[in-house]
Amino acid sequence: MQRAERFRPFSFPPMYKRIPLLFLAGALVAGALASRAQTTPQAGQESEPDSFVYEQVGGKDLKLYVFEPAKSEYRKPRGAILLFHGGGWSAGTAEWTYGLARYFASLGMVGISVEYRLSDGKQVTPFDAVEDGKAAVRWVRGHAAVLNVDPKKIAAYGESAGGLIAEATATTSESPSKEELNGVPNALVLFSPALNIEQNERFKKLAGTSRDVGSIAPMQHVRKGMPPTIILTGELDKLIPAAALAEFCDKMRQNRNRCELQIYPGAGHMLDTPGDQGEDKGGPSKTKYDAFLKLDQFLLSLGILPLEKPKN
C-alpha cells in the first residue's frame, strides 16, 4: 500500500482460459462434486460491459460496468458480485477488474466492475471511496430487477486497497437504517485486503485528520450478523501482514460470523511470489488457481454462484 505506483492489478491465472474444474458444493450438496466447464473469452472476442451511473459527486459521474452471462442461458435472477480494484486508494481504474468480471459472468453471475473516487489526500480521501462502495451496493440492490439480479445474492469483492472498500460496505451503525442495510452485501470476498488501516501510514496520510480512522477501521466494527467472508492472502505479504487478517477473522468467528481464511506459504501481496511476480517460470500460478477454486466453492456454498450451468 505504501508503494501504490508499483501496484499490479490481479493477474488472472492463464489456466482459466479453458479448463474443466470440479467444485465442492459444500453445505448445499454434502460431498457432491459438480463438473463445470469454465471459459474466458479469448482476445478479440471479449465482451464489452453495459455502463450505468450509480452516483454523481461534484459534477462527476461514477459508473458501474456490468458483465452479464448469456441471457438465453440465465433467465432467472442471478447472483452478482461487485469488484473493487486495488491501487493504494489513489491509483487504478474499474477496468483493472474487467477480466474478473468476465470470469464470474462466464460462471452464471453478473460481474460488476466499480469505479470509485481516487484519493488525492486533500479534497478526496479513502473515506469517500468507502462511501462510493456503499452507494454502489445500494444502487445494484435497488436496480436488481433491471439487472436481473437476486437482491439477496450480492457479493462484494475487493483486492488490496479495494479490500477495505469491500469490507467497509458491511459496516453499519448500532441501529442501522433500511438504507444502511441496503448497502450491505450478502458475502465478502477479500484478496490481500488492507484491513490494517490504523497501522497503515499511506492510508493515514491520504485520510488526513478531518475524520477518525477508527470510524471505518474493520476491527472496530465487527458485529454479529456480518456477511459470510473469505480472505485469501500470502504468508509473506509485507504490506498487510497475515497476522492482522487472522486477528480480524478470529473476531468475526467470536461474533458467530462465518469467516474463512486461507494463508498461502511462499506467497506475498496479491498472492504474488516475491522475486518472480507470481509466475512459476512463465507458467500459471498454482497458488492463484487454488485461491479461485476456494473462492468458487465459497460462493457455491452460499448459493450465490449457480451450482450448474443451464443446458441450452
Residue-wise pLDDT for 182-220, tens only, equals 889 999 999 999 999 999 999 999 999 888 898 999 999
Predicted pLDDT at 59? 86
For the whole model, what pTM was predicted? 0.83
Residues 6+ apart with CB under 8 A from 96: 9, 10, 85, 86, 87, 113
What is the C-alpha to C-alpha distance for residues 101 and 187, in angstroms, rounded to an integer? 16
pLDDT higher at 43 or 280: 280
Predicted pLDDT at 74? 57
Query: Average pLDDT, stretch 171-187?
Result: 85
Determine what percent of the chain is predicted with pLDDT higher than 70.
79
pLDDT over 70 at 309, yes or no: no
Predicted pLDDT at 10? 52
What is the C-alpha to C-alpha distance for residues 292 and 14, in angstroms, rounded to an integer? 12
Looking at CATH, the fold of the domain delimited by 14-301 is given as Rossmann fold (3.40.50)
What is the C-alpha to C-alpha distance for residues 144 and 138, in angstroms, rounded to an integer? 10
Per-domain boundaries in the chain: 14-301
Predicted pLDDT at 178? 81
Burial class for 289, CB neighbours closer than 10 Å (0-12, 13-18, 19+): middle
With both helix axes pointing from N to C terminus, report the angle between 126-142 and 161-168 in degrees, rounded to the nearest 10.
Answer: 50
